[in-house]
Structure 1
Amino acid sequence: MFMRSTVALLAALALTACDRVDPDSPLGKRKAIFKDMLKTSEDMGGMLRGRLPFDGAKFAQGAVKLDGLAHAPWQHFPQVRDAGASSARAEVWQRQARFQALARELEGATGALLAVTRAQPLQAAQLQAPMNKVEAACKACHNEFRNH
């Protein structure tokens, strides 16, 4: 009985390990970047929507981070679709021009948001429209190129 339980446990652990993404793979790197982008933008949006207290300095730091992150994931999309549990649709590789255009739109939106944060003191009302553009750019790409 002990041997059967041990074999079953080892098989379950092996199958669980197979589902993990190598953090050094292109898929692992872009997933980590997108996760960081989501956390950063959620915190910033939370400040503007009253879920979190508004802190101009933290919002500005978030804008710097988000702008840097917005330029980072695209290099981790190889020329051919990689193996693994990716949320990216095949269209990413089939419609590269459109995918890259949406990436540039996101970069432009985060750059515009960053520029607005340089005017001190920051007021939440002045940040709402540029933050909405960042969120719209994310959503546009997700709608076309991400499996939900």
Structure 2
Amino acid sequence: MNAKKLLIVVAACLGLAACGGVDPNSPLGKRQAIFKDMLRTSEDLGGMLRGRIAFDEQRFGTDAARLDQLSRQPWQHFPQIKEGDSDSAARDDVWQRQERFQILARELEASTGQLASAAQTRPLSAQGVAPLVQKVEDNCEACHKEFRAY
């Protein structure tokens, strides 16, 4: 009898857990995955510049190229009208001020492109790429301030 009750409780917990979360195939799920990947990649780049991770020219160049590639992907997953998901961290302004949102997206893409190009130059120095990483971080922050709900 106890095993049966335990099985019911476990099944209920699993059922409730399956109800939450974001569909990874939805536009929201796709852009969240890209943004998380961008964050991990940029944190590693910043970590190399700030001494948290050993600076490695090859890895820095690879990660800078990856960040540039990723920076061009999430925008296609913002539908023209806001979806009904309440899990989105995007403000309504994303859909109401599309022109400004697109300008900031292009600025981010430009800064990651500059970083990726510079990161292919050898020898590569942390001091040489630090201003470019800061520019990428500033562009991320600018968009978040205007369009992300904290």
TM tier, smaller:
over 0.9
- The correspondence for 2:140, drawn from 138, 141, 144, is 138
Query: Structure 1 segments of 4 or more deviating over 2 A?
Result: 1-16
Query: How many angstroms apart in 2 are the aligned matches of 1:118 and 1:69?
Result: 17
SS class of match (1:51): coil
Cα RMSD of the aligned pairs, angstroms, is 1.5
Q: Which amino acid aligns with 1:54?
A: F
The equivalent residue for 2:66 is 65
The equivalent residue for 2:30 is 29
Query: How many angstroms apart in 2 are the aligned matches of 1:11 and 1:80?
Result: 35
Q: Which runs of 5+ in 2 are unaligned?
A: none
After TM superposition, the score normalised by the length of structure 2 is 0.91
Query: How many angstroms apart in 2 are the aligned matches of 1:24 and 1:37?
Result: 18
After TM superposition, the score normalised by the length of structure 1 is 0.92
Q: Which runs of 5+ in 1 are unaligned?
A: none
Query: How many angstroms apart in 2 are the aligned matches of 1:24 and 1:47?
Result: 33
Provide the aligned length of Structure 1 versus Structure 2: 148
The equivalent residue for 2:90 is 88
Q: Which amino acid aligns with 1:14?
A: G
What is the identity percentage for the equivalent residue pairs of Structure 1 and Structure 2?
54
Q: Say yes or no: does 1:17 pair with 2:15.
A: no
* 1:25-69 per-position Cα deviation (integer Å, ceiling 9, x unaligned): 111110110000000000000000000000011000001100000
